[in-house]
Every structure is written in C-alpha cells, then in structure tokens.
C-alpha cells in the first residue's frame, strides 16, 4: 500500500448541514442538524473512513463533498481551493476530481444506457475522450476493473451486483478523479463479492494514487482498508485518528461500544455484557451536552451540560470526551479473537491454492 | 419427549419454481434436523436458497413445488391441510423476519397485533391476551411496555420494532422460532442488543431456533450447530466450534478468507473468485467446483454426497478431511 | 477474473421494456380484437380516397336519407352524400384530429410533469395549475377553449391538446418523481451532467414507457372530446366530414333515417372502446407489479 505523504488533498473545515423539516403543522418548521461542524483532511493516496451507525450523518457528509448537497456552513478545500467560492464552470472542473461510488449497485446505473454508454458519458462530457477514442477508453476502463471489453454493449440489468459495482467504479474512474467518496460500496454485496471489490479498490489506489473517503458501518472492512478512521455519532465526529490507534486503543466510549458490538467469526469471542443500551436519539431532538451521554456508561453531570471539544489524545488522534483519560483501558483484541490453528492453516492453504489457480488462469 | 428425537426433521426437501427458462430448484435435496433447545444457523450468500428454504418450512412460498418431508414432532407438515398449517404458523412455530417495517401491520397498534396473534391460536379472553402481550413486550426489553401497546409500528425505532416483532413471535410460546436475518437491517450496537436478547430468551424458554443469516460473526455468537448452504444444497453441517476450528468444505474456508482477518492484519483478502452459478445452468459434479481452488478432476464429474468426516461434522467434498488430504498429497 | 462474467440476472428490477410485447398482447383476446379493429380503421381512414366509392362532398338532394342498401352500402345522409364515404373521411378527420391533439397534449403535459418533478421549486405552482385545470370537466374546458380560439383545425388541435395535457402532466409528474428518487439521478449529477442532459437522458428515458401507455389511454378520451365538440358545432365546420358533426346532422332525422346518427355514433363508440381496451392491456403489460 502506498504510504500517504503529508500534503493535503482535501481539507474540510467546520462543515455543517441543517435540514428544515416539516413539523406537526405546515407553519411549524424544525431543524434537523445532520452534520455538525466536522473537520478532517485527506492526503493524496490516503483512505479516511467515516464510521458510524445509520443517521450519524456520514452519508450527508459524503454528499456534500461531491456537491449533491449544499453545506449550511463550513468550507471544503480541494487542492487548496475553496469549492464554494467558485464559478459554476470552475466548480464543474473541480468537482470532476471528486467522484462517488454508490451503495446500491442496482439503483445507481441508468437502466436505459449500455455499460459502454455509461462509462463513456462522463469522459465525453469532460472532454477526456472524443467519439473515436471513447471505445478504447471504455475498453481500458473495463479492463481496469476486471470486466471484459465485450460487456460494453450490455445493459446493467444483465450483470450481478458485484459486476455492477465494478461498472460504477469504472464510471467514476472515467473522469480521472483524485478522490473517490465510497458510500457503503460493499454493504449491499455478499461476503465473497465484498472481498473482490475491496481488493479492487485497494489495487486501484496503488496503481492510480487515488484517495478514498470510505463511508461504512462495517468495522472489519474499515479496519482492513483505511489509513485513518473518523467515528461519527449524531452528526459529530467523536474520535478521529490513525487506524491502529482507533482499533487497538479506542478512547471514546462510543468507539469502544462499536468495536465491542461487532460480531466476530469465532465462537465465544465477543463479551456479551458490553452491549450498549438504548437507541440513537433523533437528530431532530438531540440531547444536551455530549450527544452520546444518554447511552454512555461513563456519563457524569458535566457530560449533560457541556459539549466536549475534539482534543488531542495521543497517537495522533483527537477525541471528543470529557472523561477519556479517566475511564478504564479497553481490551480491544481479546486473545480468543483469532482463528484456531487448524483453521489458520486451512486458510493459508486456500490462499495459496487460490493464488496458484489465478496465475494458471492468467498465464493461459 | 426424549432429547434424542428431533423437534423438526427435514428429509430430502426440494423447492422448485417454474420460470420461463425451465424449472429451477432453489432448494435441492436438503436434510437436517433441529432438537429442542438447539440453535441451528443456516449460512449462505444470496442465491444459496436459505431464505426460500426457511419459508418453505412453514409452506409460505407461493407457487413453489415442494417435495420431501418436513417432520415436526414426527408429523409431516407438507401433508397437512391448509387450516392445520395456519394453526402451526405463529403458534407452535414462530417467525421473525428481516424487515420489521414490512412485516408489521402499519395501521394497527403493536398491542392489537400481539393480542390478535394470541387470540388466533389460543382460546383466551381479551384481558388475558392483553396481559400476556404486555408480559412478552416486557420480556423483550421494551421500555414502558404498557404505553408501547398503543404505539403504531412507525412510532418505534428499528431496534424497538424488531423487539416488538420478537415479542409477537414469542407470544404463543412457540417450540420453534425461525429467524430470517433478524439483525441484518439493524445497526451494530442494536444488533448486539437483539442477539443478546434472543440468546437470553432461548435460554429461558427452551425453544429451538433456526437462524438464517449471511454473517459468520452472528453465527459464531448464536449457533449451536451450523449448516452452510451453497446453490441450493447444504455443503457442510457441524457443531459451531467444530466448524470454526476446522472447516471441512472449501466454500466455508472461502467465506472465512473473504472476511478481513479479525486481528486486523491487513494483507489482501482472498475472495472466492467468480459468482454464484446460474440455477438454470448448474455446473456438473460439485456445484462449487468451478470456483474451488482445491478442485480435482473427480469434482467436475461426480457430485459429492454430504458425508460424515468426524462425528457430527458432515461435509460434501471429495477432498474432506481437507487438512489431511492437502498436506499428505503435497502438490497435486 | 474471467469467471466473474456471465451470471444472468433473472430479476428485471429496472423494468426494461421487454420483447414480445405483441406476443403477450395476443394472450388477451379482447385487446387483440381491439388492436385489429383499430388497425383496420386507421388503414381504411388513410386509404379513404382510394376506398371511398363516392365523393364525400358530392351532394344530391334527390337521394337524401336513403336507407342502407343498393348503390349506397350504408345509405345516404341529409344532403344525399354517400354515408360510407362520409364515415371513412369522417374517421380520417377525427383520428387525425385526435392524434395531433394527443401529441400536442403529451408534449405539454410531459414537459409540465417533468419540470415539476425535476425542479422542486416549480412543483407547487405547476401542479396547482394542473389541479385547477383538472377541476373543470374536460368538455367544458374544451368548449371554452374552442370558443375562445375560434374554429379551425389548428385551434381545435390546441384546444383538445390543452385539455388532454393536465392528466398527462399528473401521470408524468408521479412517474418522474419516483425516477428522481433513483440513485442514478445522483450518479448523473456527480459526473457533472447539465440539467438538460439529466432530464433528457436520465429522467425522460426512464419515464417514457408509462407516459406513452397513459397517452394511449387518453387517445380515446381525446377522440371522444373531438367528436363531442363536432356534435356541438364547435368542431370543424360543415361540409367537412367529421364523425361528431355527422352524428349531429342526422340528429333531426333520427326517427326518419336512424342510420345516419347511429352509424357515426357507433363508429365513435367502437374506436374509443378499442383505444381504452388496448390502453388497459398495455398498462397491464408494462406494469411490473402485474407481471405473471
């Protein structure tokens, strides 16, 4: 994996989104604060993950980056330039550099266009190909995502979910982006297909130097693919930092709860007792103080009153918690959370055999 | 009843559909049994036939051609008249679906739905049924159950709706609970709550559970035994620790290798190459063979039967026991 | 990777227009009869100058109101013109009028519907306008427009088109609104498509089928309205052969020579009924929810 350098590709500062929602009566308007003053940056070649449960605002954040939703406040700086303070045509040229991969491989491709048309369309639109070179470009992109040239003439409904996701990726790549926002790209796919897509995303990053904002609720995939992780709860980032720091020593009580709740494919590995009580409150009516306090096992009076700010917490992380230093240390990796020796050997044999049969196939 | 007699036993179950391209067997010759108090997890990806199979246990698949035997307490459910099945559904066999939003009636209160379910199956008065409904809601950990009785499904959160769904399934004290992806639509922290709840309820009620899921993590947490399905067939069935400590079917190993490793070491994932076969054009021999890195010539010719590898551990693979064959044979 | 290729998708969630529409239509005998009848009428109307045994404007007062039979297969009308000829030319006019009107109406209606769905700001004003138009009975609306615009083919087409547009706009908006929910609309936006391209290539292409089906249902309605205006004397002026006015002309002699009014009315009835039957069948065929 390419090691990300320190230059910044994308800088997000104080980004917020408030939606106006109809109340009980037509004249009543309520504000739903979906994203609340979040800041982060992404370096070239880096993957930052936004993790959180449904309704935490992670998708809204991604939609603001690609221009599908207008921010209520805050700035998005891409390659040092503010995206909001530009003319429409400048913006269009900049926006091209930030693409989006969707969650739903069935709904995100126009069913009336062939795969070739779908992939050529963005390239033609931005003048990256002309009518004559478009076919070659389509073939090249299809090859890049592991599909064949002959697929260009077919319609999306003729493909499986995993293949459609590949088409979506090829389409995003057609405009030569530098950053791709991946909105739950594998959540709708089967496990074995998930791995194919995750591998594809990683190899594309290596080859093309792409940056990813990887939006997901699946912790194991996030752990596998990211360099840095931001955990969101009710519109706020509660903890952000390098992957190792977040997964090995989570500081925020919510991050801990998320990690503890994730089922592990090893019987008896998860401690059942750490499950978090209650549901996420409605973002229409967020709790006072720390938004996590009603569900937090460590909450004190102060948490009810004061909103905690993101403060440095060692290992390059930022935590938004009043008490993160006081609460007991977290055992992230229970010793039992590894495969049994026999399974480990079988897995190694499987990988070896799979690699062999793949190379045999490609040499033929 | 002696503990050795299974609560439900499925023999040679086949569920087919007529399509424009010919008849498709979504479930093809499946045998398994579940004992009282046991949780059997059925794992598989989409297209494996796991959902169709679970629905066909209650004869809930319209326009399907079902053959074989489903023995519940020794009586064949497939031979029962329709009205007898209605008594069993929601009575002695409860069902929990993936989407509580779509399986609860949106225009009826939670309380009314549970009361209705109880009165449908038992000759109890309205007051007694209401009392029981409050009791089961309380059992599922819904706060202020009396107030929730008057709530409509849309007024509850996803987790609470799933609890209500479970309450409804438990209201008639079923002996068997079929749960089809009960936590797939839920967030992780809520999923953990629901899984804990299901485990606790099972321990208290002694009901058997058939849990349909695609998530090996959920399987590891919940199951006593596991059946792995691929393309309409069970390819491996084993006690849960046996399965995770020494899987005997390449597909099971492929599923595990597709998941990011649990200790977080990031090398590349090894997915199962290819995709689920077309049910109208199944490969000859073993159905997994075109995607199997361990496949030998025999696999493409003869379909392997589901056979005992170790006591209680069955696998449908010519090369089982895998570790022994693969290491002894060296390079094949 | 080459194995990850040909998994066919049995489901067709996109609802792509399926082939063999005609073959499946043939399983509905009523719709098939309607189709054959309509095709026959259209062909006959198109070939009227060739098929018609007489001149439609050749009056012969001595031959007026002859009953069917003899030289005049369907008798003669109040001016002694051959009824069969009049009916053929009348069908020609009425069908052309209906077709032109439904084209105008669907253009207007679809534009309004798509605009309302695509630009949420416009939805309120546009759809309220449509609601107001819909609250008039269409015959009244057509009457008012025809009276306002004067008599003539052009103004009649505009009047009929405008009265056909509001229900089409409603259907177009409902269809487009559901298409707007699809993620591929967002996908098109992200790659930087202009609104015009999004509407043409994404929105319109995905709503076209249901709108066309609805328009074919409206076709019968429009023909009925055209005939009604003709009957009331607000359609094309005599001596132009038009089914509605032919029926009106025969009205005063309904007891003396019932064949004039009856033949014209029956023809209108058959055409409209066929349109409706066919439209219903098309709707059933293209609605994925009613499949199989």
Among B141, B173, B205, residue at a domain's last position: B173
Arithmetic mean of pLDDT, C35-64: 84
User: C229 is in which domain, residue-wise?
Assistant: 27-46+74-290
Q: How many CB pairs under 8 A join A and B?
A: 183
CATH number of the domain encompassing residue B254? 3.40.50.300
* Residue B276, CA distances (Å) to A357, B57, B265, B306, C10 in order: 18, 24, 28, 20, 13
* pLDDT score at B332: 44
DSSP state of A308: P
pLDDT (tens digit per residue) in A262-321: 888 888 766 555 567 777 788 888 898 999 999 888 889 999 999 999 999 888 999 999
Q: Taking Cα atoms as reference points, which of C25, C53, C27 lies closest to residue C39?
A: C25
Residue C292 Cα, gap to closest chain A Cα (Å): 19
B287 and B148 in a common domain: no
Token pair listed for A335: 């010793």
pLDDT (tens digit per residue) in B179-203: 998 888 888 888 888 888 888 888 8
Give the confidence band of B82 by pLDDT, cuts at 50, 70, 90.
confident
Question: What ipTM does the predicted assembly reach?
Answer: 0.86
Of B19, B275, B279, the CB nearest to C4: B275
CA distance C288 to C183: 20
SS (H, E, C) B106-117: CCCCHHHHHHHH
Cβ partners under 8 Å of residue A16, min gap 6: A33, A35, A36, A37, A38, A71, A72, A73, A74
* pLDDT score at C11: 36
**Which CATH superfamily hosts domain A1-97+177-333?**
P-loop containing nucleotide triphosphate hydrolases (3.40.50.300)
For residue B271, list chain A residues with Cβ-Cβ distance below 8 A.
Answer: 192-196, 199
Categorise residue A127: left if φ over 0, alpha if ψ from -120 to 50, beta otherwise.
Answer: left
Question: What is the β-pairing status of strands B176-180 and B93-96?
Answer: parallel
B290 and B264 in a common domain: yes
Arithmetic mean of pLDDT, B287-294: 93
Q: Taking Cα atoms as reference points, which of A156, A154, A120, A153 lies closest to residue A136?
A: A120
Token pair listed for B258: 């597709």
User: B295 is in which domain, residue-wise?
Assistant: 8-92+174-329
* pLDDT score at C180: 93
* pLDDT score at B263: 61
For residue A159, list chain C residues with Cβ-Cβ distance below 8 A.
Answer: 7, 9
Arithmetic mean of pLDDT, C273-283: 85
For residue A112, list chain C residues with Cβ-Cβ distance below 8 A.
Answer: 14, 16, 205-206
Among B112, B145, B173, residue at a domain's last position: B173
B124 and B16 in a common domain: no
- Chains touching B (at least 3 CB pairs under 8 A) are A, C
Cβ partners under 8 Å of residue B17, min gap 6: B23, B24, B26, B63, B64, B65
B221 and B155 in a common domain: no
User: Is B134 inside a domain boundary?
Assistant: yes
B118 and B12 in a common domain: no
Among B173, B202, B222, residue at a domain's last position: B173
User: Is C57 inside a domain boundary?
Assistant: no
For residue C8, list chain B residues with Cβ-Cβ distance below 8 A.
Answer: 278, 280
The rounded percent of chain B whose pLDDT value lies above 70 is: 95
B299 and B169 in a common domain: no
B42 and B82 in a common domain: yes
B84 and B156 in a common domain: no
Low-confidence stretches of chain A (pLDDT < 50) are 1-5, 335, 364
| Lowest mean per-residue pLDDT among B32-41, C8-17, C29-38, C206-215 | C8-17
Asked whether residue C111 carries a pLDDT value surpassing 90, the answer given is yes
The burial class, CB within 10 Å (0-12 / 13-18 / 19+), for A135 is: middle
In angstroms and rounded to an integer, the radius of gyration of the C-alpha atoms of chain A is 22
* pLDDT score at A333: 54
Q: In chain A, which among 13-72 make CB contacts under 8 A with chain C? A: 63, 66-68
B143 and B61 in a common domain: no
B40 and B184 in a common domain: yes
Any A CB within 8 A of C182 CB? yes
CATH number of the domain encompassing residue C149? 1.10.3720.10
CA distance A317 to A243: 10
Arithmetic mean of pLDDT, B70-91: 89
Q: Do B291 and C7 touch (CB under 8 A)?
A: no
DSSP state of A269: -
Q: Nearest residue of B to residue C8 by CA position?
A: B278
Any B CB within 8 A of C9 CB? no
To which H or E segment does residue C285 belong? helix C259-286
* pLDDT score at C2: 35
For residue B211, list chain A residues with Cβ-Cβ distance below 8 A.
Answer: none
């Amino acid at each position: 994996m390419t090691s990300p350098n320190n230059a910044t590709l994308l800088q997000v500062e104080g980004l917020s989104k408030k939606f106006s929602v109809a109340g009980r009566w037509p004249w009543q308007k309520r504000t739903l604060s979906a994203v609340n003053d979040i800041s982060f940056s992404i370096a070239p070649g880096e993957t930052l993950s936004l993790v959180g449960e449904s309704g935490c605002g992670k998708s809204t954040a991604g939609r603001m980056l690609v221009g599908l939703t207008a921010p209520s406040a805050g700035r998005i700086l891409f390659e040092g330039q503010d995206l909001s303070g530009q003319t429409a045509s400048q913006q269009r040229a900049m926006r091209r550099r930030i693409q989006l991969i969707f969650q739903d491989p069935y709904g995100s491709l126009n069913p009336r266009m062939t795969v070739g048309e779908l992939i050529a369309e963005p390239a033609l639109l931005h003048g990256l190909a002309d009518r004559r070179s478009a076919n070659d470009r389509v073939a090249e992109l299809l090859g890049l995502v592991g599909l064949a040239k002959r697929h260009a003439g077919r319609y999306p409904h003729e493909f499986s979910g995993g293949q459609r996701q590949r088409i979506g990726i090829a389409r995003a790549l057609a405009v030569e982006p530098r950053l791709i926002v991946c909105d739950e790209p594998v959540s709708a796919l089967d496990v074995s297909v998930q791995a194919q897509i995750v591998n594809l995303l990683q190899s594309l990053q290596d080859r093309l130097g792409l940056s990813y904002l990887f939006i997901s609720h699946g912790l194991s995939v996030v752990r596998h693919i990211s360099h840095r992780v931001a955990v969101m709860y009710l519109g706020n980032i509660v903890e952000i930092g390098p992957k190792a720091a977040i997964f090995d020593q989570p500081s925020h009580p919510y991050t801990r709860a998320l990690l503890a709740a994730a089922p592990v494919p090893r019987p008896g590995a998860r401690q059942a007792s750490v499950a978090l009580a209650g549901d996420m409150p409605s973002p229409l009516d967020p709790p006072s103080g720390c938004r996590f306090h009603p569900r937090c096992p460590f909450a004190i009076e102060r948490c009810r009153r004061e909103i905690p700010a993101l403060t440095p917490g060692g290992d390059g992380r930022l935590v938004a918690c009043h008490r993160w230093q006081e609460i007991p240390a977290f055992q992230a990796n229970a010793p039992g959370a590894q495969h049994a020796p026999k399974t480990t050997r079988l897995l190694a044999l499987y990988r070896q055999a799979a690699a062999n049969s793949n190379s045999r196939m490609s040499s033929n | 009843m002696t503990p050795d007699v299974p609560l439900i036993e499925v023999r040679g179950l086949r569920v087919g559909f007529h399509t424009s391209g010919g008849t498709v067997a979504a479930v093809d010759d499946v045998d398994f049994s579940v004992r009282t108090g046991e949780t059997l997890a059925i794992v598989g990806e989409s297209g494996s036939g796991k959902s169709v199979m679970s629905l066909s246990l209650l004869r809930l698949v319209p326009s399907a051609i079902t053959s074989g035997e489903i023995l519940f307490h020794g009586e064949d459910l497939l031979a029962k008249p329709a009205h007898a099945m209605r008594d069993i559904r929601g009575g002695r066999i409860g069902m929990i679906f993936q989407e509580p939003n779509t399986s609860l009636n949106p225009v009826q209160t939670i309380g009314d739905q549970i009361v209705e379910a109880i009165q449908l199956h038992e000759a109890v008065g309205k007051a007694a049924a209401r009392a029981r409904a409050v009791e089961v809601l309380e059992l599922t950990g819904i706060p202020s159950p009396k107030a929730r009785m008057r709530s409509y499904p849309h007024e509850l959160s996803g987790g609470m709706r799933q609890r209500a769904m479970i309450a409804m399934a438990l209201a008639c004290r079923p002996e068997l609970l079929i749960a089809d992806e009960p936590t797939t639509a839920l967030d992780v922290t809520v999923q953990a709550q629901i899984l804990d709840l299901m485990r606790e309820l099972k321990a208290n009620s002694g009901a058997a559970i058939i849990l349909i899921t695609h998530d090996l993590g959920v399987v590891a947490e919940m199951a006593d035994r596991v059946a792995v399905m691929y393309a309409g067939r069970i390819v491996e069935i084993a006690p849960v620790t046996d399965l995770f400590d020494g899987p005997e079917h390449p597909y099971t190993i492929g599923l595990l290798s597709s998941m990011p490793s649990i200790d977080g070491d990031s090398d590349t994932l090894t997915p199962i190459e290819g995709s689920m076969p077309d049910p109208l054009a199944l490969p000859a021999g073993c159905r997994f063979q075109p995607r199997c890195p361990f496949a030998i010539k025999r696999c493409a010719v003869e379909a392997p039967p589901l056979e005992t590898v170790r006591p209680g551990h069955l696998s449908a693979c010519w090369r089982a026991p895998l570790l022994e064959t693969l290491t002894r044979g060296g390079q094949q | 990777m080459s194995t990850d290729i040909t998994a066919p998708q049995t489901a067709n969630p996109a609802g792509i227009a399926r082939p063999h529409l005609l073959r499946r239509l043939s399983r509905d005998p009523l719709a098939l009869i309607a189709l054959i009848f309509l095709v026959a009428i259209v062909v006959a109307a198109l070939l009227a100058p060739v098929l018609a045994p007489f001149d439609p404007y050749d009056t012969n007062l001595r031959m007026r109101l002859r009953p069917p039979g003899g030289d005049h297969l369907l008798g003669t009308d109040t001016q002694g013109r051959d009824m069969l000829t009049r009916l053929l030319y009348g069908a020609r006019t009425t069908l052309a009028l209906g077709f032109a009107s439904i084209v105008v109406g669907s253009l207007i209606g679809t534009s309004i519907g798509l605009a309302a769905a695509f630009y949420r700001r416009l939805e309120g004003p546009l759809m309220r306008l449509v609601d107001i138009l819909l609250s008039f009975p269409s015959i009244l609306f057509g009457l008012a427009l025809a009276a306002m615009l004067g008599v003539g083919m052009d103004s009649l087409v505009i009047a009929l088109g405008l009265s056909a547009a509001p229900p089409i706009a409603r259907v177009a908006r409902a269809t487009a609104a559901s298409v707007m929910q699809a993620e591929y609309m967002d996908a098109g936006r992200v790659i930087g498509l202009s609104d015009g391209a999004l509407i043409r290539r994404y929105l319109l292409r995905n709503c076209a089928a249901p709108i066309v089906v609805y328009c074919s249902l409206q076709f019968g309605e429009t023909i009925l309205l055209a005939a009604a205006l003709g009957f009331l004397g607000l359609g094309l002026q005599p001596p132009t052969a038009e089914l509605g006015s032919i029926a009106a002309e025969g009205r005063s002699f309904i007891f003396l020579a019932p064949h004039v009014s009856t033949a014209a009315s029956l023809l209108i009835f058959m055409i409209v009924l066929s349109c409706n039957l066919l439209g219903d069948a098309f709707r059933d065929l293209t609605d994925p929810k009613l499949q199989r």
